[in-house]
Amino acid sequence: MSALQQARFFTTVDRLHQLPLLGLPELAFAGRSNAGKSTAINTIAHQKRLAFASKTPGRTQHLNFFAVGTHPDDPDMPAGFMVDLPGYGYAEVSRESRSHWQETLGTYIRKRSELVGLVLIMDARRPFTDLDETLVQWFAKTDKPIHALLTKADKLNRSDRASALRATRTRLAELSPFHTAQLFSALDKTGVDEADLRICELLGLPIPVDVSVDADLQVERTKKTPVQGE
């Protein structure tokens, strides 16, 4: 079983000085609101309500931390965190909260040393909105890896899926030297194993064995790190 299936809510953070001080790797999940970020996190974790925390009134502008895995030296500590960043692009957001978003997210994305990568969640029908571009441009400067998850792939036919993936890879290649991209659907489960594998790899968690992945995913997938306890 993948370590992501035991993901659990850890903490919620509104201001950057509240960030955990544990020095554990963090993988951020970002996306335009309604892109399918909560659904993707829940699907990957095989849970119905994990990312529900991020939708709770008062927490939608917060960074929500989900603990994953077990620390090799301390069974009471997680191995790392999936960090659900506030969804962006609400039409009705005030200028004040937009600048709070820019400041909080911008600083976190650019400066957080625990951050090991970014999972960029985009609707496969509308990748790279202006705000996605802004976020990637901020993040690309850190030279950390970006993994694009193109959600709601079930809404596209085969050829449109392929061209969405191609266009995303082309744009990512222009922005960042370290990138991967995949199609995803919570509805028909397209890409769930690929996402699991890539997330575990980025967080340094044991790689789930025996997953079948898209041959296009540029991940070293022959590697079989022993599962903890084996």
Q: DSSP labels for the chain? A: --GGGG-EEEEEESSGGGS--S---EEEEEEBTTSSHHHHHHHHTT-SSGGGGGGSTT-TTSEEEEEES--SS-TTS-SEEEEEPPPB--TT--HHHHHHHHHHHHHHHHH-TTEEEEEEEEETTS---HHHHHHHHHHHTTT--EEEEEE-GGGS-HHHHHHHHHHHHHHHHHH-SSEEEEE--TTT-TTHHHHHHHHHHHHTPPPPSS----TT--S--S--PPPTT-
Report the residue number, 93 or 227, with the smaller CB distance to ligand GDP: 93
Contact residues: ligand GDP, CB under 6 A: 31, 33-39, 87, 151-152, 154-155, 185-187
Report the residue number, 25 or 87, with the smaller CB distance to ligand GDP: 87
Report the residue number, 85 or 207, with the smaller CB distance to ligand GDP: 85
Report the residue number, 71 or 90, with the smaller CB distance to ligand GDP: 90
What's the closest the beta carbon of residue 17 comes to ligand GDP, in angstroms? Answer: 26
What's the closest the beta carbon of residue 38 comes to ligand GDP, in angstroms? Answer: 3
What's the closest the beta carbon of residue 127 comes to ligand GDP, in angstroms? Answer: 14
What's the closest the beta carbon of residue 179 comes to ligand GDP, in angstroms? Answer: 20
